[in-house]
Structure 1
Amino acid sequence: MELFFVILFLASLCSFVLPDEQGEALYALRSSLNASSSQLADWNQNQVNPCTWSKVICDNNYKVTTVSLSNMGFPGTLSPKIGVLKALTTLTLQGNGITGKIPEEFGNLTSLTMLDLENNHLSGEIPASLGNLKRLNFLILNQNNLTGAIPPSLSNLQSLVSVQLASNGLTGQIPDQFFEVSKYNFTGNSLNCGLNFPHPCESNNGGSSSKPKVGIIVGIVGGILGILLLGGLLLFVWRGRHRGYKREVFVDVAGEVDRRIAFGQLKRFAWRELQLASDNFSEKNVLGQGGFGKVYKGELADGTKVAVKRLTDYESPGGDAAFQREVEMISVAVHRNLLRLIGFCTTPTERLLVYPFMQNLSVAYRLRELKPGETVLDWPTRKSVALGTARGLEYLHEHCNPKIIHRDVKAANVLLDEDFEAVVGDFGLAKLVDVRKTNVTTQVRGTMGHIAPEYLSTGKSSEKTDVFGYGIMLLELVTGQRAIDFSRLEEEDDVLLLDHVKKLQREKKLDAIVDRNLSRNYNIQEVEMMIQVALLCTQASPEDRPAMSEVVRMLEGEGLAERWEEWQHVEVTRRQEYERLQRRFDWGEDSIYNQDAIELSGGR
């Protein structure tokens, strides 16, 4: 049975990391753009599914539909390999320093509806192959160094609603068909508009309404807005009078007596307010980056230090209202070991979340990324982090309605406040689970090495996928090592931290497991207890893993001995069966004709 799970896990792992043409094309684009190590850091060339990468959006069939890389300062060129993305509908690369030509292969992007390459340093002629993009609505090539004539093939683009070719070095005749487009701009070129045209020659912003008409429209719109504002003010006053008793809300924190955390209305921040707080989202203020986006350190006008998460791949069918409902639901999850949400900001194109700034950063930082002069986490703090994280996850699983599954539990997502108390972060970006529905996701969220095997292979998550990730995080606390580390191959050891620890545990080499930075300042019995809890949490079968409430009790010293003894009995039995099967398979070539071997293979 263990062999079956090993094979299943490895097969799932392979399917997750073997490259495909979408991932290869996007990674080739990243390389050709000369992205720095901090830019698009999660674009992994060994990862088969680029749908979890930042700046990339996919459809339900895992086909890349949107790549948005605006204003990132790329100095390189465009890769022709991007032409394989046949489902791509939106490609935006404006505001970079991209040089070279527009590849002919862009004409293969037959699903494209928007191509925005504005404000770069592109040169050469506009490829005639762009005439193949029959679905193209927006062609935006302003402010480049493009030369030559506008290809006649572009006259075939019947779906165009906007053509922006201003500030280039284009010459020749403007195709007549372009003057039928709603919006066009050809200024700043040496183009010939032709003779006797009864329309604006170089630019058109979608219509030339007269001033009186504009005044009438403005007056009507202003009147409507005034009525809406007055109605909104009256509604606000009425609700304030009739629902004043709801202004102060308290939420009980599970497991603690007489401790209540107050929270009121979430603050809705203005975009400009967060832009100023983060110094225009400066790279020097980046605290971290993950699958959901970058996190920036900021300081509000009143001096409050905050962390601003700028979401890059949030998809909300209902737009702003749906996002706000979800955020308000998440804000109800209040616990001392969960990161508190201060507020949010939405614009037509942006979604941002605002949290308190955690001055001691993450557990992963304190384990592996310390700067000179900073102290390593001591053993008592690591024990406290283990228990605090377990309590936070227990609250999400067992005290929230609907329950919340984190889906990416790891040391990097556990933050430390000023007292080094564990605070689970990013849970608000996980899927809110309705217990009445089957939770099958459209794409696997998480980090390799932390993902439970059943989630990786089926896409079905549950509380027990979090338990598995928590077990791996415990091993990170004990060892100080990453969940996957290919440098261990140099020592002929296991790449996966879980396998590495299992091996040393069987060999009774507990001291070899513990982080060397602790300099033997730890209690070996407590280390053994934490490893036992971790191994119970990372069993192959989700049904065998404990609930987080059980984990809390085991860390507090209740019930671990009995659970561990039961696990050892099962584990020894499985290992003996595995070794017996292995011996049969190792009999030699002639043994395949042995009847027992034939029956064994037939049964499998």
Structure 2
Amino acid sequence: MKVDVGFLLLRLLLVLMASSRRCMGDSNSEVSLQLNDDVLGLIVFKTDLHDPSSLLGSWNEDDNTPCSWKYVRCDPSSGRVTELSLDGLGLSGKIGRGLEKLQNLQVLSLSHNNFTGDISPELSLIGSLTTLNLSHNSLSGRIPVELGNMSALRFLDLSENSLSGPLPDGLFQNCFSLHFFSSAWNILEGPVPATLSRCTSLVGLNLSNNHFSGNPDFVNGVWSLKNLRSLDISRNAFSGSVPDGISALDNLKNLQFQGNHFSGPIPADLGLCQHLTHLDLSNNLFTGALPESLQRLSLLRFLSLSDNLFSGDFPWWISNMSSLEYLDFSGNSFTGNLPATMDQLKLLSYLSLSGNRLTGGVPATLAYCYRLSAIRLRGNGFNGSIPQGLFDLGLEEIDLSRNEFSGSIPAGSSRLFESLRALDLSANKLTGDIPAEMGLFSNLRYLNLSWNSLRSRLPPELGYFQNLSVLDLRNSALYGSIPEDLCDSTSLAILQLDGNSLTGPIPDEIGNCSSLYLLSLSNNQLNGSIPKAMSRLKKLKILKLEFNELSGEIPQELGKLDNLLAVNISYNKLVGRLPVGGIFQNLDQSALQGNLGICSPLLRGPCKMNVPKPLVLDPNAYNNQMGGPNVVPESTGSAKLRHRRFLSVSAIVAISAALVIVCGVVIVSLLNVSARRRLAFVDNALESMCSSSQRSGSLATGKLILFDSRSSDDWAQNAETLLNKASEIGKGVFGTVYKASLGEGRIVAIKKLVTSNIIQYPEDFDREVRILGKARHPNLITLKGYFWTPQLQLLISEYAPNGSLHSRLHERSPSSPPLSWANRFKIALGTAKGLVHLHQNFRPPIIHYSIKPSNILLDENYNPKISDFGLARLLTKLDKHVISSRFQSALGYVAPELACQSLRINEKCDIYGFGVMILELVTGRKPVEYGEDDVVILSDHVRVMLEQGKVLSCVDPTMGEYPEEEVLPVLKLGLVCTSQIPSSRPSMAEVVQILQVIKTPVPQRMEAF
């Protein structure tokens, strides 16, 4: 028999304490010397915990029994512990020894805490356990195979941790009692064990959001689990066709296969699972027509088949599924018309058929689906007029863009006025006036009527919008003037009126658009001067006024708009000096050319200044100007006095100019000295920190933490030596990166953060860094630890031997071979997968904000590793200079909406940067390139070449041979990702799906793309 010496010693110590108190006449003389195993086990378990709120304060080793302790339940007859529930108490530490002593324990629930480390195999020694819930923690390592010995277990939830490796083959050896199993939201990989089919009592199975792969052989075994009601294997890497036989699952209600690589037709007998209420097969590679058996799913409420390769006519029998509330067939190749019987879907609230090949008119009967809140028909071939009845519903979103609708825009109803939040009718053939009733849409946030033939005036009622963020009326044949009250809505962030026939001046009231960050009025017939009121647009980031008839000088006040990143005022009638400050001194020729006389060294021709006349140099002229023609000539003495006065004014001007220059030189010199001293101070702080640490023999002034299990003592004792030997491999806005060795062949990268004194307390820094340390993924740089002092912070991460993608694209030595297409595609797909992990596996999502090639590192096999993720979260108090420098260093990659605080900043920002990055990856060009006469914006250049049918001329010539059927859709994908409107960009999960389809091209899919 195995003897646990630690427990015997602890038991003996507690017995001696109790005995001593009894001998001394302690009032607790009734304390039994026979200590309760449950008390002992729980006290030992508690010693490994960190309980910041002292919620376990009632746990006292002096008690005979733990039955009165909080969060503990006992069996009244035996007095033994049967349930321990510590959910959501903010506990941390490791799930250590002690719990195995609770031999009558049936329920153990530790969810929604921050437990770390491995799952202890000793938990399997609790033979009575029926419920084990370790979900929503930070557990890592592999799932112990010993858990398969717990034959009484009915409920096992390991979801939302950082568990890795495969599911053990023996995990389901004795699972005959198991009713529910979840390992969702981990980093598990490999195939699912075939022994899963032994879990004949299984009711719920959730393997979603991992990296499980392989052909769905295990599905054959799953089809034998007759009691199964919920099956979720979504967002993994399963591939191959799904076999028939699912009809054996008579009780199945929830089936989720989305986000895998399944192909071929869906099982023909799927419609025989007549209890299904939720079916999601989206984001796969399923092909063919839909089996008619699906119409038997009369209880189905949720149906999503989006982003597959389904084809054939739109199913006429869809109206038989009378319980449908959510229907999404978008991103397929369905053809034909919508059936007139759609009105039978009385419960339908969401309808998305975007991105198919549907034609014909939209049946008016659709308006009888009274519960509809969103309808998306974007990118089809629908024609005819828009049914008036749709605008009588209480819809929140209407997207009918990129079709062939004609006729006028229907007037809305009172229900629509209150409910509508987004309306997109762009890229159709609509005509007629913009309805004045649109001004009554009190909750409208997005309005896009661009690329139509409205031939309408801008109605002044547009100024009634109180919540509108985006107004896009480009290329809609609008005429007349811009309404003065257009900016009565202070929430307007994007205003695009390009390509119309608008006349008159830009109203001064444009300055009331305080939230505006994109203002585009180009290609109109606007005249008059640029209003000074624009200087009140403090958030403005993009200003486009080219190809108008604006005249006069550019207001100098515009130079104070610090957030401006792009300005184009070309081809107007502007004259005079450019504003001092801001972006104006860095404008290139293409943004200025075609004016009458703007003063810039980039432009040739006369420079016209509308300013007061300079000092008159002719004394007589000066005299005539002051006194007129009849003034009596002055005496000689007066002339000399006047001459002396003139010389004094000239001297003053010259002296003043000289003083300004001298002061400028002095100030710049002082700033340089100050900057050098600050840099020296940072370096000295590191050295003094290391030295003091060595002198004291401890880390009292610093804190070194390595997340792996290997000791870090050698590193701590030789920190100065290590950093002195470290070689610098890069610099960024957040700090300098060094390559260093920790011994035993352990090469790491160390980032020395430049932002000292940002986080004052080690607890705050530790908490934030550990969150980033949980972001483990094959395409993310692994954060291994950190070093902290109040003056200095270091981040320790894995080292990528092939450097950054930027260096491989733009700083390649002649002896180094260029990146092949296979490696470039691998980099694009891997980066997308890493971003999906950041966006989907964290709550709230981790948004990178700065996706660019310099932040994509390459390992020895050219697999991409995203770096610097989460630093915006870590350093939330960055000063304005660092933030500004960060975005300037990412010029060309930054999404437009990052400058607008009124818009919700989300994952779409990263998608924009990713789009620019893959355009750069294919073309080998930088996102913004400056020439002698113009500036080339990469996304605009590729878009123009695509429209001209010459897009393949953009491909990097150094790449060698490449498959056109892959390169062309990748370029198109980059353009879609760089859409100016965030909602038009796909999600990163959709990007991964598209890239996977591109790698195994299907003609129909390529056409649809």
More strand by proportion, 1 or 2? Answer: 2
Structure whose CA Rg is larger: 2
More helix by proportion, 1 or 2? Answer: 1
TM score, norm. by length of structure 2? 0.31
TM score, norm. by length of structure 1? 0.49
Q: Which has the higher contact order (CA 8 A, sep 6+)?
A: 1
